[in-house]
Chains A and B, each alone.
Chain A
């Protein structure tokens, strides 16, 4: 194939609007692809209320770069992952796609855009390679895709209509059955699935996605100069600056972290240790959670400093004052960007021993594990590292390199080529006349 590879990357939100890991990852992929020769990528992100839609079509922009575009949707059924505005998909999305004539359509999320978009693009481009990257378990789990039970928050191992009804007693079993079959059926139209972690991949395979179609490719970040280690000052030189980076959702375990901090005995904590919380989106959480967090932070007094939201571009600067990065999530996590960032800046991590965190943070090499949800166990870990400086040095030396986004883009590119070749071979086997037909 000599012509330029045309890729359409579809994201559920644009990073300038929304600060999640999936947005960043999909946008990094797009930029990484465009940095490769012979690849042209276009980025399409969904946008919705309160942004007003144009009258002329669902397509719009935010004065973005030329190769980025927004698609407005408002008729989205969260439960079924379904977009009710099939007219807009036909009229606007397909119109744009037909002009683009992509070889590859790569969905990161169907959230907001709907599984119908997948169906429509599959119908319109039978020879294109369609991929879906999973960033969490939304297709499997209606509880924000976290696979954590309601209301108590226990970790969930397997979804089933009856089990899901247990978490949502108002939603009948039959609706969960339909959700499962609809999601799996529509996703089955894709040619390949990408997961940033093996853990998540295994979950999807267990759920019923074809194993042959699943690959694991780590989310890459834009690699820059690593922030230097924090300068140690004063008589008692300890690596005692802990930081949390991320969103302030109930699944992130910030309350576990603060509780752990408070359990550390005074004489061990001393008076210059500190936990810094860089957390955004607290104002979007349920009110009672917001109240609880504010109270916890206030009660923690001097030990905890809350800095509010941050931009990704700020991270290198913020890392300068950090020794340890803590990931106390009470859900499985897939591939948090902060892990890559911590690896880049060589800040050892302390994280829950489950899911993607446990996979990506090798215990004793990239960081230390603690029992998920247990503030006592986390407190013990903090006490251990406060008592022994060498742990930090040792881990810093054994931490691995992060994946960079250009490498990630190259991995994707290889995958695209393989898929296209397979499809072409299969099509020719059915109908040799296609040999002359341009893709």
Chain B
């Protein structure tokens, strides 16, 4: 039974009252279900011995839930006593869910205690309240108050709370309303209204409106409301932030006022204020309120909450902040960089906040010198540091994680100063992949900056670790010639960001009779596809190749393109080939396939050589003893002749830059990891995973490919070095524990 503003009890209490007096008869009790576990019982008679007006009593129940239990009883003298009854009582009986089975109830445990029979029809909470009001007269407030007291102390669910609100509204109609609800970015909720019963100070409230009622201590402050009914004061209060009580769901408050429990419903014409307006509203009302110091402090804090405006630049101290970059990747991972000028150390805390998520930055950031900031502020007289001010590194870089549900809530920096005032700086993050964010960030740091190693270790590497990565999406496929992927395993060429011109490679494939006949897949980023597809199509026609051109929606490196290319096929086996490689001589394709035929389901790579005839890659091995680098490319840098006579060799990871492999191997192993910046560890990481997922990896030294490392991948050599260093660290974090664990397992005696 729900109480609504339009319930007859509130609209017309008198109607109920008349009915009530007819239903209450001696020897009978009336039941009103409070919630699933409690029944309110009202009857006439004296059930409490002695002077007590309210206590726990043992009751006996007959019927389906026979047995004794303890119940709270509140008793009163009837306002209009009769010969048959001078007292009335109300009891709270713990029950099961069914309400029809109880037949009689006996108060007290003697056989001689009075027994009452249950009236079949249950009454509503309004009717119950009316009965109490009528029979208890001036005492009814106290009675209801006692009952609510006991109920509020127990385990309440929404239904129970609604029953209580009905009782209270029936007992104290129009006691007050909540007229304004203000949301804030921090999740706290501001309430404003008027009430007869409310008093300034801490106040236990229960919010009606969500599935599970939650009770809080709410700090109330009051202000004069000349327009409210006599005796009523305006009140304001703050509800703490919680996921369980959303501002929009609030229906009313049950609270303990000076005179007892009261209910203030949310007025049907309530005002709802959004987070950007709430602080200003609080500011406007605050001067008129009075209350406990705690209440006023928290209200002042709410008044100074973030309202969407930047307030750092108007601080009356030499404190200023500027943000250079703020990136957000999937999963709420953030990377921010900027500067905080605070020579006199006014700032106590720096936080990054969004809605109810908050993360403290000043304990985890890395600082770096910003001479440009120092110079700029030194010129400004009122910003020059005081005599005690120190020379600091003003710049900072920090990574953090905030919940990423999209409320549309703004992201902002919050500075808390030593005098506890707060200032804010809203920012708009750039949404890009973690990889691009890290690259842009390191690209903007001077490579000679001595804070760079700390930045890499403390910020960049953790930011990248465990990044998610989405599978590439193909958005166009173009076939030239009769493309038949079942004739022989297709050669899948990945032309990533660095590889602009693949026409020489196409020519070389056409010049080799084996590869001339093979189906060839070329995957490239979408913008390249748009620019070059027509030209490449003509080239394929000219050379007589059977080709499939695949466009991958987003830019990526060779590995991303390789994955996109394999997705555009359905055959069993493919031969991957990076567009940065060039075959060394003819016959490589046939040799790889012949070997693969004898080792079904495995991956076989040729040796990759530099153009100066030294080895670029000839297999990866797990290093037995080395702790620093868990996996080594053992022959890297040696003369090519050192390996060309070797036989087919089992290795720890094949090279995806060129190998024959099962087409679905990449997706089976989970695709490429998202955290690497460059290509080397990224390929190695997947190669290791593939090997461990049951796809044996081999090196075939009798076949070789030429390839070069190109500095063009990065803007400058310093970035290239940095990228390598970061990738090595991430790789080590990822794989050292795994490999060490295996070594440990091997060493344990059987």
Q: Is B truly associated with A?
A: yes
Q: Given the known A-B contacts A174-B710, A177-B582, are A162 and B539 also in contact in the complex, defined by CB atoms under 8 Å?
A: no
Q: Per a CB cutoff under 8 Å, which of B505, B543, B544, B711 touches A178?
A: B505
Q: For chain A residues 146-172, which have a beta carbon within 8 Å of chain B?
A: 160-162, 172
Q: Given the known A-B contacts A172-B710, A174-B710, are A179 and B504 also in contact in the complex, defined by CB atoms under 8 Å?
A: yes
Q: For chain A residues 266-309, which have a beta carbon within 8 Å of chain B?
A: none
Interface string of B684-728 (1 = CB under 8 A from A): 000000000000000000000011101110000000000000000
Chain B residues whose CB sits within 8 angstroms of the CB of A175 once the complex forms: 501
Interface string of A119-148 (1 = CB under 8 A from B): 110010000000000000000000000000
Instruction: Report how far A186 CA is from B539 CA in the complex, Å.
Output: 15
Instruction: Report how far A6 CA is from B112 CA in the complex, Å.
Output: 137
Chain A residues whose CB sits within 8 angstroms of the CB of B668 once the complex forms: none
B530 CB to nearest chain A CB (Å): 18
Contact across chains for A82 and B582 when beta carbons are under 8 A apart: no
Chain A residues whose CB sits within 8 angstroms of the CB of B582 once the complex forms: 177-178, 181
Contact across chains for B708 and A174 when beta carbons are under 8 A apart: yes
Asked if A315 is at the interface (CB within 8 A of a chain B CB), the reply is no
Contact across chains for B535 and A119 when beta carbons are under 8 A apart: no
Instruction: Report how far A182 CA is from B706 CA in the complex, Å.
Output: 13
Chain A residues whose CB sits within 8 angstroms of the CB of B508 once the complex forms: 181-182, 185
Q: Which of B510, B511, B539, B580 has the most CB of A within 10 A?
A: B511
Chain B residues whose CB sits within 8 angstroms of the CB of A89 once the complex forms: 542
Instruction: Report how far A189 CA is from B505 CA in the complex, Å.
Output: 16
Q: Per a CB cutoff under 8 Å, which of B504, B535, B544, B612 touches A80?
A: B504
A248 CB to nearest chain B CB (Å): 34
Q: For chain B residues 531-590, which have a beta carbon within 8 Å of chain A?
A: 535, 538-539, 542-544, 580, 582
Instruction: Report how far A172 CA is from B504 CA in the complex, Å.
Output: 15
Q: Per a CB cutoff under 8 Å, which of A86, A161, A186, A189 touches B542?
A: A86
B510 (CB) vs chain A CBs: closest residue: A119
Instruction: Report how far A181 CA is from B582 CA in the complex, Å.
Output: 8
Q: Per a CB cutoff under 8 Å, which of A160, A161, A176, A186 touches B507?
A: A186
A123 (CB) vs chain B CBs: closest residue: B544
Chain A residues whose CB sits within 8 angstroms of the CB of B510 once the complex forms: 119
B615 CB to nearest chain A CB (Å): 15
A153 CB to nearest chain B CB (Å): 25
Chain B residues whose CB sits within 8 angstroms of the CB of A116 once the complex forms: 542
Instruction: Report how far A403 CA is from B187 CA in the complex, Å.
Output: 98
Q: For chain A residues 189-213, which have a beta carbon within 8 Å of chain B?
A: 189
B479 CB to nearest chain A CB (Å): 19
Instruction: Report how far A362 CA is from B465 CA in the complex, Å.
Output: 72
Contact across chains for B612 and A160 when beta carbons are under 8 A apart: yes
Chain B residues whose CB sits within 8 angstroms of the CB of A178 once the complex forms: 501, 504-505, 582
Contact across chains for A86 and B511 when beta carbons are under 8 A apart: no
B429 CB to nearest chain A CB (Å): 35
Asked if A383 is at the interface (CB within 8 A of a chain B CB), the reply is no
Q: Which of A160, A178, A179 has the most CB of B within 10 A?
A: A178
Instruction: Report how far A80 CA is from B544 CA in the complex, Å.
Output: 20
Asked if B503 is at the interface (CB within 8 A of a chain A CB), the reply is yes
Asked if A87 is at the interface (CB within 8 A of a chain B CB), the reply is yes
B505 (CB) vs chain A CBs: closest residue: A178
Contact across chains for B611 and A120 when beta carbons are under 8 A apart: no
Asked if A90 is at the interface (CB within 8 A of a chain B CB), the reply is yes
Contact across chains for B542 and A185 when beta carbons are under 8 A apart: no
Q: Given the known A-B contacts A178-B505, A178-B582, A181-B582, are A86 and B539 also in contact in the complex, defined by CB atoms under 8 Å?
A: yes
Instruction: Report how far A432 CA is from B513 CA in the complex, Å.
Output: 22
Q: Per a CB cutoff under 8 Å, which of B535, B542, B711 touches A120?
A: B542
Contact across chains for A172 and B611 when beta carbons are under 8 A apart: no
Instruction: Report how far A84 CA is from B505 CA in the complex, Å.
Output: 15
Contact across chains for B706 and A172 when beta carbons are under 8 A apart: no
Contact across chains for B706 and A181 when beta carbons are under 8 A apart: yes
A-B contact count (CB 8 A): 65
Interface string of A95-117 (1 = CB under 8 A from B): 00000000000000000000110
Chain B residues whose CB sits within 8 angstroms of the CB of A161 once the complex forms: 611-612, 708
Instruction: Report how far A90 CA is from B542 CA in the complex, Å.
Output: 8
Asked if A173 is at the interface (CB within 8 A of a chain B CB), the reply is yes
Interface string of B144-165 (1 = CB under 8 A from A): 0000000000000000000000
Q: Given the known A-B contacts A172-B708, A181-B706, A188-B511, are A119 and B611 also in contact in the complex, defined by CB atoms under 8 Å?
A: no
Chain A residues whose CB sits within 8 angstroms of the CB of B611 once the complex forms: 160-162, 173-174, 176-177, 180
Interface residues on A, range: 20 to 34
Chain A residues whose CB sits within 8 angstroms of the CB of B707 once the complex forms: 174
Instruction: Report how far A181 CA is from B707 CA in the complex, Å.
Output: 12
Chain A residues whose CB sits within 8 angstroms of the CB of B580 once the complex forms: 174
Chain B residues whose CB sits within 8 angstroms of the CB of A80 once the complex forms: 501, 503-504
Contact across chains for B612 and A172 when beta carbons are under 8 A apart: no
Q: Which of B504, B510, B542, B580 has the most CB of A within 10 A?
A: B504
Chain A residues whose CB sits within 8 angstroms of the CB of B710 once the complex forms: 172-174
Chain B residues whose CB sits within 8 angstroms of the CB of A181 once the complex forms: 504, 508, 582, 706
Chain B residues whose CB sits within 8 angstroms of the CB of A120 once the complex forms: 542
Interface string of A76-95 (1 = CB under 8 A from B): 00001010101101100000
A116 (CB) vs chain B CBs: closest residue: B542
Contact across chains for A189 and B511 when beta carbons are under 8 A apart: yes
B543 (CB) vs chain A CBs: closest residue: A119
A163 (CB) vs chain B CBs: closest residue: B612
Contact across chains for A173 and B503 when beta carbons are under 8 A apart: no
Interface string of B270-305 (1 = CB under 8 A from A): 000000000000000000000000000000000000
Contact across chains for B507 and A177 when beta carbons are under 8 A apart: no
A182 (CB) vs chain B CBs: closest residue: B504
Instruction: Report how far A186 CA is from B510 CA in the complex, Å.
Output: 10
A79 (CB) vs chain B CBs: closest residue: B501
Chain A residues whose CB sits within 8 angstroms of the CB of B501 once the complex forms: 80, 175, 178
Instruction: Report how far A176 CA is from B511 CA in the complex, Å.
Output: 19
Contact across chains for B708 and A84 when beta carbons are under 8 A apart: no
Q: Per a CB cutoff under 8 Å, which of A177, A182, A188 touches B708?
A: A177
Chain B residues whose CB sits within 8 angstroms of the CB of A119 once the complex forms: 507, 510, 542-543
B712 CB to nearest chain A CB (Å): 6
A284 CB to nearest chain B CB (Å): 28
Contact across chains for B511 and A177 when beta carbons are under 8 A apart: no
Instruction: Report how far A394 CA is from B511 CA in the complex, Å.
Output: 55
Chain B residues whose CB sits within 8 angstroms of the CB of A123 once the complex forms: 544
Instruction: Report how far A87 CA is from B612 CA in the complex, Å.
Output: 36
A95 CB to nearest chain B CB (Å): 15
Instruction: Report how far A186 CA is from B706 CA in the complex, Å.
Output: 17
Interface string of B605-617 (1 = CB under 8 A from A): 0000001100000
Instruction: Report how far A177 CA is from B505 CA in the complex, Å.
Output: 11
A176 (CB) vs chain B CBs: closest residue: B611
Chain A residues whose CB sits within 8 angstroms of the CB of B542 once the complex forms: 86, 89-90, 116, 119-120
Chain A residues whose CB sits within 8 angstroms of the CB of B507 once the complex forms: 115, 119, 182, 185-186
Chain A residues whose CB sits within 8 angstroms of the CB of B706 once the complex forms: 177, 181
B503 (CB) vs chain A CBs: closest residue: A82
B160 CB to nearest chain A CB (Å): 76
B504 CB to nearest chain A CB (Å): 4
Chain A residues whose CB sits within 8 angstroms of the CB of B511 once the complex forms: 185-186, 188-189
Instruction: Report how far A116 CA is from B511 CA in the complex, Å.
Output: 12
Contact across chains for A87 and B538 when beta carbons are under 8 A apart: yes
B162 CB to nearest chain A CB (Å): 75
Chain B residues whose CB sits within 8 angstroms of the CB of A189 once the complex forms: 511
Chain B residues whose CB sits within 8 angstroms of the CB of A87 once the complex forms: 538
A87 (CB) vs chain B CBs: closest residue: B538
Interface string of A46-90 (1 = CB under 8 A from B): 000000000000000000000000000000000010101011011
Instruction: Report how far A149 CA is from B712 CA in the complex, Å.
Output: 23
Q: 10 A-B contacts, Cβ less than 8 Å apart?
A: A80-B503, A119-B543, A123-B544, A160-B611, A172-B711, A174-B580, A178-B504, A181-B504, A182-B504, A186-B507
Closest 7 pairs between A and B when the two form their complex, measured CB to CB: A174-B708, A182-B504, A86-B542, A178-B504, A161-B611, A177-B611, A173-B708
Starting from the known contacts A172-B712, A177-B708, A182-B507, 14 additional A-B residue pairs (CB-CB under 8 Å) come to A80-B503, A90-B542, A119-B510, A123-B544, A160-B612, A162-B611, A173-B611, A174-B707, A174-B708, A174-B710, A175-B501, A177-B582, A180-B611, A188-B511
